[in-house]
Chains A and B, each alone.
Chain A
Amino acid sequence: QLVLTQSPSASASLGASVKLTCTLSNGPGSYAIAWHQQQPEKGPRYLMKLNSDGSHNKGDGIPDRFSGSSSGAERYLTISSLQSEDEADYYCQTWVSGVHVVFGGGTKLTVL
Chain B
Amino acid sequence: QVQLVESGGGVVQPGRSLRLSCAASGFTFRSYGMHWVRQAPGKGLEWVAAISYDGTNKYYADSVKGRFSISSDNSKNTLYLQMNSLRAEDTAVFYCAKAMSSGYAFYAFDIWGPGTMVTVSS
Contact = CB atoms under 8 A, between A and B. Distances in A.
Contacts of A42: 114
Tell me if A's interface is mostly helix, strand, loop or mixed.
Answer: strand
Contacts of A49: 100, 108, 110
Interface stretch (B8-16, B45-53, B69-77, B78-86): B45-53
B111 interface: yes
Contacts of A103: 37, 44-47
A104 B108 CA distance: 14
Contacts, number: 71
A46 B44 contact: no
Contacts of A95: 106-108
A40 interface: no
A95 B46 CA distance: 13
Interface string B2-45: 00000000000000000000000000000000010100000011
Contacts of B46: 103
Interface string A34-53: 10100000111110010000
A43 B114 contact: yes
B106 A93 contact: no
Contacts of B97: 44
B87 to A, nearest CB: 20
Contacts of A102: 47
A43 B108 contact: no
Interface string A57-94: 00100000000000000000000000000000101010
B11 to A, nearest CB: 19
